[in-house]
Each structure stands twice: as structure tokens, then as C-alpha cells.
A and B are shown apart, each in its own frame.
Chain A
Amino acid sequence: MAVELDVFVGNTTIMDEEVYQLWLDGYTVNDAVKVRMAGGVLDECEANQDVLLSDTMDQYRTFQMCERLLQSPAKLANQLLFQIPPHRQTMLIERYYAFDDAFVREVLGKKLSKGTKKDLDDIGAKTGVTLKSCRRQFDNFKRVFKVVEELKGPLVENIRQHFLLSDKLARDYAAIVFFANNRFETGKKKLQYLTFQDFAFCAGQLINNWTVGAVDNMAEDMDVDLDKEFLQELKELKVLITDKDLLDQHKSLVCTALRGKTKAFTEMEANFKNLSRGLVNIATKLTNTKDVRDFFIDLVEKFIEPCRSDRWTSADVKLYLTHYTNSAHILDSFKHQAVWDRYMGVIKSCIFKMYHD
């Protein structure tokens, strides 16, 4: 005696959010049943294991049928097969495109290619995310990447419109796309302490300030590429470290402003030239694609690590960078105020975010 067939179809498609999450997380039906039983759902309704199994299978089937639609969410809204109230559609899409921070951290900045996809089982093993879920997340990244690659206009807005995602999630995807496109190195050991949200924030800063889209809202090029002209102009900042007078002047201005305001003043004073050289060098090298990729590692090596070894607090960093940036405006012979602001604005907020106490 065996159940040959068992289906349950509602006019309004019934979807249990807990089971949906288990499905998204790549649990097999049997594992999902175990998890649900452990969750005590059986007590709710005098059910038994068979009931739970049957329900889980039904739901999994529904999700599988829906998956095709979820991959192009606009279709979900005007398809006729499943009657799903709009707010439930939003939930389905949002969850389908949600990802594990641990997983995305591994993939961030990597080329979204077949090669990477082959490594997913390793990543899965490392992060504890099931392979099935890894695949879904990876395919989501790739799908979003492919779609927005060919579109004009603001990246975040494009993602939100095409995938009907929340603002937050759309921004995260923009970050992922941006990182994948510029191939930023994020996997080095020194960067391990950074979370995806740290990077996502930085990506947002870069997108908003350093891309073509930052200056021209409807530019032909997209938010994913850095503004080449700007990168070129960054070379001009070199004067801040090459011109000895300027460097000294800058230092004294900063030190004057900082004196007495922090315990780390002596370290700041001692390290000023080093740190300034580090930051300006990063700026001047950004025309090289290779150096763009190393942007974050450079920030850590050239700035964050020295500060941390001197036990600066976040407040110290903030204070220092604020005065460091502002003081440059007072330098008479320094003509590149606009570029400086555009550069330091991003650097400042990135470092704030990346500097963990």
C-alpha cells in the first residue's frame, strides 16, 4: 500500500513561509519534514508525520512550479497559473532573491562564470549553505548581472524595476553586480574580517560618487564602470605627497586641528606622512585595472592596519580623516579641491565602515 498520488491545489495558492524558507535553503523534503517536526508544528493541529510529509511535498511542488516565474518576477504579477495576492508575491520574490551573507562574501568580486559555479560545492561546504541554495543564489547573481549589464540608467533602480525587489535588496544586488564587474579582491585573508554589508556600503559609495552615473544621471554608460576621467584626474592628487612643502603644510594644519582632541595624537603626528602617502598613492594608481581590484586590500594595508596597530579608536579615525580632508582645502597651492572631495568623500566613508574597533 503506497500513496501513488497526492496533491492539494488551492484557488488562492497556499504557501507556507516556513516551508518556503526550507525550500530556498535547499533542504530535501525529508530534511524539511524533520526540521518542521522539531519546530513543533505538529502540535498546532493534531497532525502526524504523514500529514507533514504530504504537505511538504505539495508545497515543494508548488515552489518548483513557481520557480520559473520567480526567475523573471515581472511575469509572476501577470501570469494566470497561480493566484497569489500581490503582497504574497512580493514576499516570494524578496525571499527568493535573498541570500546568505556568508555565501555572498565568498563569491563577492569573483567572476560570475561557469568556473566559479564549479567551486560552489566547496563554498557550500565552507559556509554551511547547501549546494542547492548556493546554486540558486549564484544563479540569481548571474541573472541580475546579465539583465542590468545591458541596461541604461541607474543600477539600483534598474534592478528594482526588473526584479521587483525592495530598495534594500536592490542595493545589495547593485553592490554584487558592481563588485563582480570590477572584480574587486575581497577574498584575501586581511579582508576576511569585513562583512558583506561593509562591502555593500562601500560599493554604494563608489557607485554614487565614482561612476559615470554619479555625474551624469542618464549617461550612456552605466553605474557599474568607474568614471575613467575621474580616475585620470586622481593622478593630480599626487602633488600632495610629492610636493614636500605641501605635505608639511598639510601635516601641520591637521596636527593643529587635532592637538588635544585625542589620546592617539602622537601616533597620528608620527604616522601622518605614511598614511597620507598611502591614501594618495591609492588614488593615483586607480587608473590601472589591477590596482582597482586591490582597492580594498590597499585601504586595509595602507591605512586601516597602521591605525589599528596604533590602537586608534573609530572616533580617532573619524576625527583624523575629517581634518585630513578639510585641511587640504586650506592649502593655497592645492588646486584640485573638487577631485579631492570626490575622492576623499568615498574613502572617508569606506574607511569608517571598514574600521572595526
Chain B
Amino acid sequence: MPGKLKAKIVAGRHLPVMDRASDLTDAFVEVKFGNTTFKTDVFPKSLNPQWNSEWFKFEVDDEDLQDEPLQITVLDHDTYSANDAIGKVYIDIDPLLCAEAASVISGWFPIYDTIHGIRGEINVLVKVELFNDLNRFRQSSCGVKFLCTTSIPRGYRAAMVHGFVEELVVNEDPEYQWIDRIRTPRASNEARQRLISLMSGELQRKIGLKVLEMGGNAVVGYLQCFDLEGESGLVVRAIGTACTLEKHSSGSLVNTHTHPNTAPASNACNSPSKDGKEPVFGEDLPSSSGPPTPFRILPTSSFSPPPFSPSKPCSRQSSSSDTDLSLTPKTDESQSGRRRPGIFLCPSSPVLSADSLSLPGSGSVGRGHSSGCRAITPPIPSFTHSDSALLRKSVSFTEDLLLAASGMGSGGSAGKEAGPLKTLLRQQTQTALEQRGASSSGLLLNAREFPFFTLTSFPPGFLVHVGGVVSARSVKLLDRIHNPDLIQSSRQSIVRMERKMTGRQRKSQDRLWNVTDEPETRDAWWEEIRQEIKSHAKALGCHAVVGYSENTSICEEVCILSASGTATILNPRYMREGCLDIGSTDHRFDDPSPPSCGFCHIPYDELNMPFPAQLTYCYNCRRQKVPDVLFTTIDLPAEAAVTGKGCLIQARLCRLKKKAQGEVNATAISNLLPFMEYELHTQLMNKLKLRSMNALFGLHIQISVGENMLLGLASATGVYLTALPAPGGIQIAGKTSGDLNNEQHIQSIQKRINDTIAKNKELHQINPPELTEEGVGSPIPEPRHRSRLFRSHSESSDEVSELDLSHGKKDAFVLEIDDTDAVEDIHSLLIDASPPTGFYTCNTETMPGIYNWTTAVQMFTSVRVLRLSNANLSNQSLNKIFTDLCENLLKSFYFKLRSNIPCCLCHLNFTVAVPEEELIQVSVTAVAMTFDQDQTQERFITKGGNETEEQLQFPLELCADSSSTNTQTSSKFSGVPENTIVSSRVSSLENCSPLTEGRPRSLRSSRSFGGSSVTMVKMTPLSFLPGTRIIKYLGIINMFFIRETTSLREEGGVSGFLHSFIAEVFAMVRAHVAALGGNAVVSYSMKDCVLMENPNKNQAQCLINVSGDAVICVRETDQEPMTSMTNIGQSCTADGAT
């Protein structure tokens, strides 16, 4: 009985009228935790009830504390009929379990109803008393910090980074249970909300356990996602990076090897696996002087892990006998050989290699290449019927496996290595819970198995070299849950859900014969992907993957699993021993590369590159080789030397596909994927060149599947890295040189492109220092390749047209000017408007070249859905529509945020979906950050000097001062004319004049003006708030809401419905943060926004999942937390509502 939870219901306000006769409400409150429920008295006839209840006490397991939310239901008492529910509040207790986080939850929470939205507010106090010591925590993992932030949180130091943690939990979706047919939508929605809350609590607890066993105390970069698989269930999965965090004040550097927790652990970690793997890796990483090892070549078969998980008949119960399992991959390997003979043809094509040249720096060995290859060789559907005896119906289409094909080189021994790896990896998927004994080694293997880090920015010196982006995708058919044996995976939820799931009566039986354990299958799917990612990284000569993320896209029964990250070499000094496979004497860590360019230096061996790349000596230090372009998924390292500013670069693509079912559908999709990846990549590359930049950061490629189309959206922030060579221009070539018209046409297009490049250079202030030819080192003389349309032109070549023609012959990829597709493509390339003066855009945390942020931030979420009325659209016109959709969204942002100029839209996060056949949905969350133009001008000459002081002042006052003004007491507020005068814009408008002129002696009673009773809570997708210092992390915010309406028209249509829902979600997030004593949310993100509508029935439903870190921050100059003042209003009771 390790904990006591106490809750007190203080008051309500703004309640809805529940009794039409009296226009009042007789409200009371039910407080529920686990299976215990308490009730307050009825407070009759009031819309602002004052319950002032006693403390309700729940004595509970800490395990429950982690899993369960506190559930508060406000009801209207009715003497004659059933009591009507007004709404609910779910409060996550987790932040109270962490000693360092919040100590009490106290404040006003919106009362939320899934049908009516927010209906008034309730004031609640919650406390937790934990009794026992940490040693006794077995099932629970209280005390582990969870952070969404994908960097080491400010104010902390990573004493140790332990590595990758992951977990997933599966359950049946209440929406798809038979009982759903007879219960109300409200009951169904609430069951879902509650279930997901339970599942994410459980997931977090399990991950926490893994972290504790690794010896860590925190999870950074915690990324939790929901897969709504419809009938086949509901998956909640999470990944993160386990760390040992220390408060900064503790100071001195800790020697990693003497860390008490980890030393024994790492030993344990090494013992079982070392023999098998270490030597292999050791060979892999020696200095480049050694002979090329087979591992540097992309080993084909290492890319072909079994397309489906080798089934584990005895799965989780077994502590996995290695021998048993290792057999499975072997057979698979042989299978894969048999299955795809065609693949090996690809590398032999000279065209291919020329083509793949285009992707060198990108390092997207996998995607880019293979797609390139498949662009020529129609891909052989590599889906494989699973051995049905083992796997039932789960068929997987591992198009990703084809990746290897482009790889040069044969399978070799590395392929075999994959086998044992896989077996070991099996172990980690088994939930730690059941096999405590085996788990410690399993977990440590996990870290070793997948040297992945969800972090995107790192302490200086952490990142040694960056290889490039690695990604993997796989198409799976979702299988219905065959009465899954959920008891172990989500035991807690099941027991509690039992009541509702009468259909689950047979479960005890099921356990006897059901061997396909759902979480296991999902685990296996992800393992496959992760394994592939790891192989890619290895092929790039890297031992770690950073900026790692995973996501899915589901349409009906088809699911695309994707993972991507950046292959890197990390400094082992920061890692726990054994976490990475690093030869201790590896020269690369002694590399004295300057920090501003070191990470750009190639990690792979120059003489035996994983792919043909154009290398030059680093333009910064001139000692090491660098690629001509660099693609990454991480944030720009702070120490990187950058020329000019960056900008958002997006590649957008639509591909139609035939409607189909089942395997046919999955095949079609996996056939399309490589083409899409290739196209996206080409677009990115061209747009990068067009902007005269040479590196992409924060690359995120999303491919979304719909019934009749696939959408691809790649977003990244382009920059000019000083260390990398200047990008060549874009050269247009026609196939036939004779036609005069054509020549002119080509010339005019070429001119437009050149003009655009010049304009962009100016816009982004890219003025790299001129370099002489000798200094440039020796570019590897390879035919300059380019994509289908354009041929990149390295600066070293002078002659243009003639050279191109010759290349044209070589390449076989020539722009035919009468090819309308090609023309369209050029137009689409040029259509991307650059942001208007005063705006900058990026999808990373900050923009290089801008340092002097003001404290003004404006976070926003925007959703747009387009209905395609014409069913017979071509790919081209679809592309145009999709591109316009994205461009128009951006234009809208510029316009709406024009008062914030000069500002930068940071962390622009686009999410695409195909919710229905004819619909395209794009959701964006970003933050507009204002900066001080004047200081910028000292550094750079900008054209846009037209910003008046007025414009500067406005945003300042809007956001920054708002937080301070609301800290003033209310009486003071009314008497302070500055509030209205500060903004010259406001006061300059005639209608405001009454405000400014005469309110000299209004001593307004504070009673009526509760203006400062609501804490201002700032939200940002970034990990920091400019101009402020985070003094405390209060806990993770992870909320899931469902909203439904049966009166869509009355709520203003879908737009009105979603608008108010998003506003409500914001409000609930802010309320929770304020109740924890916080004043900001950092690393905020909206993970899901699933909208379903049926205008004919006047109905709509929407699901939103958001997360972030609640923090207390103070102005950089202040010492005292702002909240000490802003919270004053919290305790004041309802008032003013006459």
C-alpha cells in the first residue's frame, strides 16, 4: 500500500444550466480512482457551486498511481430521473510521483464533455503521499522523469546516456466492441479516453521500469503515439532515450566508468552478446587504412531481415532460448535469397550508379538509392506470404528490404550476422515485466542492439561525425485481433475494462490456444524496421542513430510503418560502456576536428564508400573530407558554422493508386513507395540547390496512405554549411538541340532558375567566401549526375551547354521540353514562394543567423482539409493541388502573423493525412518567434528595413507583457493606462480612444474584475522559451481527447467544430499546467488529429492527442518564479458570474 492519494473538490463556476425551469443547476461531484468512488454533497440551485468538500482519500498501489488518472465527474442531481452528467476532468497524477516535480495539483480545470465540449470549470486540489523507499518499486517506476524535449533539458547535465527504450501496449478499441452498438456515443468516447489514459500510463510505467533497470533516472525525447487500427485494435507505443540526468549545479564531470549504477550493468550487458558481435563490429570500425571490410559494403542480406517476425510460439513466456530462435532468421535469409533474384540485377546497371550519385551526401543510402534503382527496374513485390502455420494471416510487404539492392556488393558474411542479432533482439521485445530475471540482460542488449537516440540536439562534443539520413518503411496488413491474449501485456487495463467488455469472457480459454500475441507481432514489425535502420547506419560507417523517430500511417487494414534517423558517430565519453559498439581505440574520436565542421566530416571510408559520393576537403579545416550535401533529421548543432540564414524546404507529392483490398492493396502501395521516396528526394535536392544551400536539418518524410492515393511530404530546414562545398546550379538540358524554339524555351527556363537562385542567395544572405580552385581539394571525378530533370552542375566546370549534352547521352535522363510532365515539374519547383520580407521559416528549433529573440511567442495549430471534387485527377494536377494547399497554408500564416514581423516561424511541423477517399488533410503546429531586427542588421544587411517601431512594439506587448501585466493585482490593472497605451497600434485606432483618455479614478473592486485569475500559460513546440530560463520541469503532459457532435451545422460546420475543439484542447493543457504551478509548456506537439465527419448526418468526431513538458520559467533577469505571483488568482473562487 505504498501511496495515499487525496483530493478535495473546492468549487465550480460557469456551470451550464441543467434545469430549464429554474435556469440553475443542482451540481454534485463524483471523484473516482481505480474502483473507489466518493461523492460530494449536492450544491443546490447554483451555477457557481461551493462544495468545499472534505479530503477524499484513496489508498492505492503506486502502480495504480502511475496507470490510473483521477477521474472527476460533475453531475446534476435530479430527484426523479437519472442524474445528468455535466462533464468530466481526468487528472494525471504522475507529476506528483516525482520528487522533483510538482507537489500539489491545484487549480481550475475545464469540465469537459465529449459531446458538448467545455462546460464550466471546477476547482480541485490533489496531493499524493508516497510511503515507501525507492528500492521497493518493482512494478512501478515512480520517480523516473519523462520529458518530451528532444535535448538534454536546460538546467540539467546528462551524466550518462543509456540509450534506446521502447515499449508498446495493445488493446481492443472500445469503439469497435459489440457493446458500442448499444451504448451512447458519450459512453463510448469516455471508455476510449479512459482506456487510452490507462494504456499510456501503463506504457510510461513500463518504460520507466526499463530505465530504472538500466540505471537511468529519466527518459528524454519521449515520443508516444497511438495507432488506431480500427477493428484490429488500438496500439499505444512509445520510444525514448534513457538518461541519467543531474542538476547542473552539481557541477563536476562524472567519470562514466565509476558511475555506481551503471558499472555492473554494463558488465552484464556485455557478457551474453559480446562474443557474437563485438569482433564483427571491431573490424568494422578500424581506421581507413585497413582493407575494406565487407561490412562497409551494404550487405544485401543484412537488409533483409525476415519480412515478418519469426513467430515465437512460446513467445513471451519463454525467456527465449537463443538457439531456438536463431533458426528462424536463417531460414528467412535463405528465403530472401530465393525470393528476390531480380534485385541483384540493379546494381549492375550503370545508369543506376550514376543516378544514385545524386544522393551521396544525403546518406539516405536506403531510400534514395533503392528507389533510384527501382525507378528503372520495376520493383519486384517483395511481399512474402508468411508461413501461415507460424504467422496466421499477418502478411508483410517489406519493400524496404529492397534497399539493399542498390547497395553494391554481395551478401557476404555480414548477412549472417543479422541472424544472431535478431535472436538477441527478440529478447528485448518481451516485456520486462514478466521475465524479470532475464530482463536485465535483455534490456541492456536492447540498448546495445539499437544504438538509437531520440534526441535531436546534443551537448557540444557529443556528435563526432554525421553520416546521413537513414530510413526504413514497411507495409503491413493489419490482422484482426483474434481474441488476443492481452492479459500480460495490459493486464491492468483488462481487469478494469472487464466490466465493459463482456465479449471478453472467453479470454481464459484463449490463452490456451492463441499463440499469435498481438503486441508481439507489432513488436516484431518494429524490430524489423529498427534492425534495418541499424544496418543502414552501419553501412554509413556509423555506430549510432540520432534524431530517431517512428510513425505509422493506417488506412483500413493497411499500415505503413516508418522509421528514420541520422546515422552518426557519437563520442563514447558520454555513453555507458557497451551502449555503443565502439572499438576503444578508434581514431575517429581523437580527431581534433574543429567543432564548427567536425560533424560534417564523413564517417565512412573514402576509398570504400557505401555509395558513390562527391567528396571534397572540408572548406573549413581543409583536413578532412566532406560530402557535397548533407541530410539529417537532427537540429543544426549550435556550434556549426553556417553561412547566411536557413529556410524551410518541402517536397510534396501525390500518387494515385487503384482502390484495392488486402494483399493486392498492400502490394500496390509497396510498389509505389520507392517511386515516391525517389521523387521526394529529387524534389528536396532540387529545391535545396535552388536556394543555393547544401544541407538539410530536421528532415522528416511522411508518407500517408489513403484509399485511392498516397501522399508524401518531406519537410526540412535547408542551410548553407560553411564546411561543405557550394552547391552547383541547376542545369536544364533539352534532348534535341536542333529546334530553335526549344532552345529558347530551355534558355528562358534556365534563366528563370538562375534568377531564382540569385534571388534566394540574396534573400538568405548566402555569401560564402570565394574559394580558389586549388583550395577545393579534389572532387572525385564522377559524372555529374542529376535527377531525371536536372543535372547538377558543379562549380568547377566552366563550359555549360556542351558538357551537358554529352552528359545527356551518358545519363539517358534528359529533359524533353515537350514532355509536359517535365515542364510541370519545373514550374512546381519554381512555384514555391519565398516568405515575405520580415519572415523566416524553419522546422528546426531555431534559425541559424538569428540570435536575438524577444520573449514574444505565438504558438498555433492550423488544420486544413481539401475535398477533391473531381475524381479523375491526374497525378500532376493532384500534385499541384497538394502543393498549393501547403503553400497557401504558409501564406495564411504569414498574413495572420504579420503583426509579429520580424519573426521566424520555427518548428513548422506539417502532418498530412487522407481521412477519406476524396479528402486531403494537412495539420500544422508551429511557433512564431519575434526577434529584434535592429541587432540583426548589425550583422547582416537586410533589405527589409521598413519595420517601424510600431510593428516591433506590438508583438512585444502582446505576448511578453501580457504575462507581466497579469501578475499585477486587478485593482492596479484597471488603473494602469499603459496597458492600453503600450500598443501604439491599439491606441491609434479611433475606437480605442475612450480607453486611453478617461479612466483616471476608477477604483474598480477586484471582485468584479477577475482579470488576473487565469494564469497565462505559454506554449511552444520548442524546447525553450526565448528570454526565459526554465527553473523547473513539472512533468509530462500527455492528453488524449475525443469530441463528437450530432449537431454539426449548429456548431458552425466542421470548421466551427474543430476550431472550438482545438481551442478546448489548448485550454485543458493550459489548465493542467497552471494547476501544476507551471506557466509554460515546452516541446509541445499535437501527435494526432483524426477527424471524421458525416455532414449528411450532421455528425462529426475528432480525436486529438497532445503532449509536452510542463515547466516553470522565469525571465532571464529574474530570480523569482513568475508563478508565485501568477498563481495568486488560482485560489480565488467563482465570482462575477451574475
Minimal beta-carbon separation of A329 from chain B (angstroms): 32
Q: In the complex, what residues of B have CB within 8 A of residue A72's CB? A: 1137-1138
Give CA–CA (A86, B995) in the complex, Å.
13
Q: Is the CB of A51 within 8 A of B991?
A: no
The answer to whether residues A75 and B118 also contact, given A51-B895, A54-B892, A160-B1002 and a CB cut-off of 8 A, is no
Closest B residue, CB atoms, query A87: B979
Q: In the complex, what residues of B have CB within 8 A of residue A14's CB? A: 858, 860, 896-897
Q: Is the CB of A61 within 8 A of B986?
A: no
Give CA–CA (A270, B748) in the complex, Å.
94
Binary contact track A163-200/B, C-beta < 8 Å → 1, others 0: 01011110000000000000000000000000000000
Q: In the complex, what residues of B have CB within 8 A of residue A65's CB? A: 1059-1060, 1063
Q: Is the CB of B118 within 8 A of A80?
A: yes
Q: Is the CB of A7 within 8 A of B895?
A: no
Q: Is the CB of A45 within 8 A of B118?
A: no
The answer to whether residues A74 and B1138 also contact, given A3-B865, A4-B866, A81-B1063 and a CB cut-off of 8 A, is yes
Q: Is the CB of B867 within 8 A of A162?
A: no
Give CA–CA (A88, B894) in the complex, Å.
22
Q: Is the CB of A8 within 8 A of B892?
A: yes
Q: Is the CB of B833 within 8 A of A91?
A: no
Q: In the complex, what residues of B have CB within 8 A of residue A94's CB? A: 991-992, 994-995
Q: Is the CB of B869 within 8 A of A91?
A: no
The answer to whether residues A86 and B966 also contact, given A4-B1054, A7-B1055 and a CB cut-off of 8 A, is yes
The answer to whether residues A46 and B891 also contact, given A4-B919, A87-B979 and a CB cut-off of 8 A, is yes
Give CA–CA (A52, B895) in the complex, Å.
8
Question: B1062 touches which one: A7, A54, A85, A86 (CB < 8 A)?
Answer: A7
**Is B958 on the interface with A (CB-CB < 8 A)?**
yes
Question: A91 touches which one: B992, B1009, B1014, B1134 (CB < 8 A)?
Answer: B992
**Is A332 on the interface with B (CB-CB < 8 A)?**
no
Closest A residue, CB atoms, query B121: A80
Give CA–CA (A90, B863) in the complex, Å.
29
**Is A17 on the interface with B (CB-CB < 8 A)?**
yes
**Is B1135 on the interface with A (CB-CB < 8 A)?**
yes
Q: Is the CB of B118 within 8 A of A3?
A: no
Binary contact track B860-894/A, C-beta < 8 Å → 1, others 0: 11111111111000000000010000001001111
Q: Is the CB of B973 within 8 A of A1?
A: no
Q: In the complex, what residues of A have CB within 8 A of residue B391's CB? A: none
Closest A residue, CB atoms, query B1060: A65
**Is B110 on the interface with A (CB-CB < 8 A)?**
yes
Binary contact track B986-1016/A, C-beta < 8 Å → 1, others 0: 1001011011011110101101111111101
Binds A, one of B411-419, B622-630, B1064-1072: B1064-1072
Closest A residue, CB atoms, query B982: A87
**Is B859 on the interface with A (CB-CB < 8 A)?**
yes
Q: Is the CB of A86 within 8 A of B1011?
A: yes
Closest A residue, CB atoms, query B981: A87
Closest A residue, CB atoms, query B927: A11
Q: Is the CB of B110 within 8 A of A81?
A: yes
Q: In the complex, what residues of A have CB within 8 A of residue B1012's CB? A: 77, 86
Q: Interface residue tally of chain A, by bracket?
A: 35 or more
Give CA–CA (A47, B962) in the complex, Å.
29
**Is B1017 on the interface with A (CB-CB < 8 A)?**
yes
Q: Is the CB of B1018 within 8 A of A95?
A: no
Segment 173-208 of B: residues with Cβ below 8 Å from A: none
Minimal beta-carbon separation of A70 from chain B (angstroms): 14
**Is A249 on the interface with B (CB-CB < 8 A)?**
no
**Is A113 on the interface with B (CB-CB < 8 A)?**
no
Q: Is the CB of A78 within 8 A of B986?
A: no
Binary contact track A14-47/B, C-beta < 8 Å → 1, others 0: 1001000100000000000000000000001111
Q: In the complex, what residues of A have CB within 8 A of residue B1056's CB? A: 61, 64
Binary contact track B150-178/A, C-beta < 8 Å → 1, others 0: 00000000000000000000000000000
Minimal beta-carbon separation of B782 from chain A (angstroms): 41
Minimal beta-carbon separation of A354 from chain B (angstroms): 23
Q: Is the CB of B836 within 8 A of A45?
A: yes
Q: In the complex, what residues of A have CB within 8 A of residue B1064's CB? A: 81
Question: B866 touches which one: A2, A8, A52, A147 (CB < 8 A)?
Answer: A2
**Is A58 on the interface with B (CB-CB < 8 A)?**
yes
Question: A5 touches which one: B986, B992, B1054 (CB < 8 A)?
Answer: B1054
**Is B898 on the interface with A (CB-CB < 8 A)?**
yes
**Is B1019 on the interface with A (CB-CB < 8 A)?**
yes
**Is A83 on the interface with B (CB-CB < 8 A)?**
yes
Q: Is the CB of B1059 within 8 A of A58?
A: yes
Q: Is the CB of A44 within 8 A of B1016?
A: no
Q: Is the CB of A47 within 8 A of B894?
A: yes
Give CA–CA (A55, B1055) in the complex, Å.
13
Q: In the complex, what residues of A have CB within 8 A of residue B1008's CB? A: 74, 161-162, 164
Give CA–CA (A12, B899) in the complex, Å.
13
**Is B108 on the interface with A (CB-CB < 8 A)?**
yes
**Is B1058 on the interface with A (CB-CB < 8 A)?**
yes
Q: Is the CB of B860 within 8 A of A9?
A: yes
Q: Is the CB of A89 within 8 A of B110?
A: no
Q: Is the CB of A75 within 8 A of B864?
A: no
Give CA–CA (A263, B672) in the complex, Å.
99
Give CA–CA (A164, B1138) in the complex, Å.
13
Q: In the complex, what residues of B have CB within 8 A of residue A11's CB? A: 858-860, 1017-1019, 1066, 1070
**Is A230 on the interface with B (CB-CB < 8 A)?**
no
Q: Is the CB of A12 within 8 A of B110?
A: no
Q: In the complex, what residues of A have CB within 8 A of residue B997's CB? A: 168
Minimal beta-carbon separation of B1137 from chain A (angstroms): 6
Closest B residue, CB atoms, query A79: B14
Q: Is the CB of A10 within 8 A of B859?
A: yes
Question: B1055 touches which one: A6, A80, A169 (CB < 8 A)?
Answer: A6
Give CA–CA (A61, B1057) in the complex, Å.
10
**Is B791 on the interface with A (CB-CB < 8 A)?**
no
**Is A82 on the interface with B (CB-CB < 8 A)?**
yes
Minimal beta-carbon separation of B507 from chain A (angstroms): 41
**Is B980 on the interface with A (CB-CB < 8 A)?**
yes
**Is A50 on the interface with B (CB-CB < 8 A)?**
yes
Q: Is the CB of A5 within 8 A of B860?
A: no
**Is B130 on the interface with A (CB-CB < 8 A)?**
no
Q: Is the CB of A77 within 8 A of B1010?
A: yes
**Is A62 on the interface with B (CB-CB < 8 A)?**
yes
Q: Is the CB of A91 within 8 A of B965?
A: no
Q: Is the CB of B1059 within 8 A of A9?
A: yes
The answer to whether residues A74 and B982 also contact, given A11-B859, A167-B1002 and a CB cut-off of 8 A, is no
The answer to whether residues A9 and B1062 also contact, given A2-B869, A74-B1009, A77-B1009 and a CB cut-off of 8 A, is yes
Give CA–CA (A78, B1008) in the complex, Å.
11
Question: B995 touches which one: A79, A85, A161, A166 (CB < 8 A)?
Answer: A166
Give CA–CA (A169, B870) in the complex, Å.
54
**Is A48 on the interface with B (CB-CB < 8 A)?**
yes
Closest A residue, CB atoms, query B1058: A7
Minimal beta-carbon separation of A137 from chain B (angstroms): 14
**Is A57 on the interface with B (CB-CB < 8 A)?**
yes
Q: In the complex, what residues of A have CB within 8 A of residue B1059's CB? A: 7, 9, 58, 61-62, 65
Closest B residue, CB atoms, query A5: B865
**Is B959 on the interface with A (CB-CB < 8 A)?**
yes
**Is B1136 on the interface with A (CB-CB < 8 A)?**
yes
**Is A98 on the interface with B (CB-CB < 8 A)?**
yes
Give CA–CA (A354, B966) in the complex, Å.
43
The answer to whether residues A8 and B862 also contact, given A21-B991, A86-B965, A167-B998 and a CB cut-off of 8 A, is yes
Closest A residue, CB atoms, query B897: A14
Q: Is the CB of A51 within 8 A of B891?
A: yes
The answer to whether residues A95 and B991 also contact, given A12-B958, A46-B836 and a CB cut-off of 8 A, is yes
The answer to whether residues A166 and B892 also contact, given A1-B869, A83-B1017, A87-B979 and a CB cut-off of 8 A, is no
Q: Is the CB of A86 within 8 A of B894?
A: no
Jot down 8 A-B pairs with beta carbons below 8 A, ordered by A.
A9-B860, A10-B858, A51-B895, A65-B1059, A74-B1010, A75-B1136, A86-B979, A161-B1005
5 more A-B residue pairs beyond the given contacts A72-B1138, A86-B965, A161-B1009, with a C-beta to C-beta distance below 8 A: A14-B897, A17-B986, A74-B1009, A77-B1010, A166-B995
List 7 tightest A-B contacts by C-beta distance, closest first: A74-B1136, A85-B962, A5-B865, A87-B979, A161-B1008, A77-B1011, A11-B859
